[in-house]
Amino acid sequence: MSDPAVVLDASALLALLHAEPGAPRVAAVLSRAKASSVNLSEVVAKLAEVGMPESEIHTALVGLGLEVVPFDEALAYRAGLLRPVTRALGLSLGDRAALALAMALDCPVLTTDQQWQAVEAPVVVEIIR
């Protein structure tokens, strides 16, 4: 039996790419990790913002071997329905996309965002440091 999937939000991916605290935890689950296409877009945007060339961004992200899950209609509904329970915490669409994917896959989600500790959703949230 293989290990269960784990969802990475953008902050977890960026921690790995920048060798920040939490990077070893992300590296340990990378072979079974998944990310929403919304979160991939967030990571691309952050890397582009700091001046990384497109070809380097693509090489770095493809090199992770990460399975990227399209943000389809079902995930859009699930993420949208999370808005009322996450609004006060300041969670973004990207945050809700990661949560929605973890809920759909019935697996944990890893993030560095501390405010996720208070998320009331049927999903295991692991705050990495």
Q: Label residue 120 by pLDDT band (50, 70, 90).
A: confident
Reduced to 3 states, what is the DSSP secondary structure of residue 111?
Answer: strand
So what's the pLDDT on residue 68? 98
Residue % of the chain over a pLDDT of 90: 87
| pLDDT higher than threshold 80 for residue 2 | no
Say if residues 95 and 121 touch (Cβ distance below 8 Å): no
Question: Is pLDDT at 78 greater than 80 in this prediction?
Answer: yes
What is the chain's length? 129
CATH topology for 6-127?
A: Rossmann fold (3.40.50)
Rounded-to-integer distance, Cα 102 and Cα 93, Å: 14
